[in-house]
Chain A
């Protein structure tokens, strides 16, 4: 039962995230784009679960889908979008942008398909300790400095966002 379910779920989640990604960049209404982005993020969390990364999946749902997207929706509501929906949605250079991005994507896929010898073939065995515990040990052990700097970065971002959105400094 296992392998078939994995294949089905992979194609389902990957298809869902790509279709929602297309909806993000194509919809006129920013609220619809935000919704599509939420669907993409939730599909991503499912893909992380399939890659045996449950903690990052949980972090993605809490922070990204439950935090950042709420922030986006708030700002979309504060900004008057009625007028912008009637304007022209795409740039004048849209064709060049599309071509460039597709060329970039094609380059990526070419590299992956031609050079799979770069990746070692077998995946690591799933260890006995739970994923959360290992991440905790590593985060507070090897990456302690980066952790503290990330908290400083968040503090700076909070202060910056508050100062910029205030009416009078």
Chain B
């Protein structure tokens, strides 16, 4: 039994491939916990960052600088009354939040946090991810239908039309990136003469191909990889119904669209699904174009000193966060009313400092590298989502469909054709 558990630790494949159910379950639980933490912190970050962009402060009351706000929100949502509209189809009303959450969480089975840190690695990894994220459309359509009210119906129809249209642009951009995995040549325009087209759809192999070709696919064939990445970045924002494509769920337009009639826990499931969907498509973008778990310049700046420098980044990040927290502690008001909050913030600073110290230990340092770089890149994308929401005005629905079909689709096809030609001719 113990042998079963420890025999995996020296393996070089993911638990799903090794057939080790115990470790696969452990990874699944870690993904669950990680996702929940990410969604909670994303909630707080969104409200604070959006507020600061709009020259106001955001939540400040619940904890120091509103840090306990997400917990208060979660409690409130759990304790709210569960209302089901009168003529609603009870089975489908009950089922659709679970369907959406299940499909979004299933996407995370193949997301690679490291060369062996995925739940499993399927041969058809990227195809599976695209397919399962297209199942979320079903949940949204059912949610709007089951509410038996016209705002949710219109919202869900618009939302699903939007998601289906932008899925096509996403798929074309993904195919362009997958084409680049079969080239085996080194560098920005490198195409190997002996490249025999052994491309792959598996997520871990795509990152390995970027490592082997010594260039992130966003820079490969210079403008083409970048254009494909930009198409995917736009399509993924539209796919997750976020600003500026959030007409189906904007408050001023449709009173919250397809999740209008859902209250309390059911709404929080939709909320969880939306943010997890954002994380999922950001993970796809990071894996396909930005080199997944690879640190910057793994081949160019190689050698043990550079490895050491880059391995100090995780600890340095947490040290920076600790410093910021203690600066915040210094700026807290000195009134006795705020004593508890000041203590809390200082305690948080101490915890972050402890984590930073742990991350400086060499044994931990080397293992955490891959997960850290992947998480940092996904975190950049999350911040970009918040930034878009604070900056861009909302697209009208016909403009939205026009962008999806008449702008992104032709550019996507063009990039695909040019990538294929570049791969053969160069």
In the complex, A10 has a CB within 8 A of chain B: no
Q: Which residues of B contact A (CB under 8 A)?
A: 19, 89, 91-92, 95, 122-124, 127-128, 130-132, 134-135, 137-138, 141-142, 145, 153, 157, 160, 164, 197-201
Contact B89 A73 (CB under 8 A): no
A-B contact sample (14 more), CB < 8 A, given A61-B132, A66-B131: A31-B89, A32-B91, A55-B127, A57-B124, A58-B131, A61-B131, A61-B134, A62-B130, A65-B135, A65-B138, A66-B138, A70-B160, A70-B164, A129-B198
B92 CB to nearest chain A CB (Å):
6
Q: Of B19, B89, B124, B199, which contacts A58 at CB under 8 A?
A: B124
Residues of B within 8 A of A65 (CB): 131, 134-135, 138
Interface of A is mostly: helix
Cα separation A128 to B254 with both chains bound (whole Å):
53
A141 CB to nearest chain B CB (Å):
12
Interface string of A73-88 (1 = CB under 8 A from B): 1100100000000000
Residues of A within 8 A of B201 (CB): 130, 132
The chain B residue with its CB closest to the CB of A61 is B131
Residues of B within 8 A of A54 (CB): 122-124
Residues of A within 8 A of B135 (CB): 61, 65-66
A29 CB to nearest chain B CB (Å):
7
A105 CB to nearest chain B CB (Å):
29
Q: Assuming the A-B contacts A73-B145, A77-B157, are A66 and B134 also in contact, with contact meaning beta carbons closer than 8 angstroms in the complex? A: yes
Q: Which residues of A contact B (CB under 8 A)?
A: 1, 29, 31-32, 35, 38, 54-55, 57-59, 61-62, 65-67, 69-70, 73-74, 77, 129-133
Residues of A within 8 A of B145 (CB): 31, 73, 77
The chain B residue with its CB closest to the CB of A62 is B131
Cα separation A72 to B197 with both chains bound (whole Å):
38
Q: Assuming the A-B contacts A1-B19, A73-B145, are A133 and B198 also in contact, with contact meaning beta carbons closer than 8 angstroms in the complex? A: yes
Identify which of A1, A38, A58, A129 gathers the most chain B CB atoms within 10 Å of its CB: A58
Chosen A-B contacts, 5 in total, with CB atoms closer than 8 Å, are A54-B122, A57-B124, A62-B130, A66-B138, A70-B137
Q: Assuming the A-B contacts A58-B131, A133-B199, are A69 and B89 also in contact, with contact meaning beta carbons closer than 8 angstroms in the complex? A: no
Cα separation A58 to B153 with both chains bound (whole Å):
29
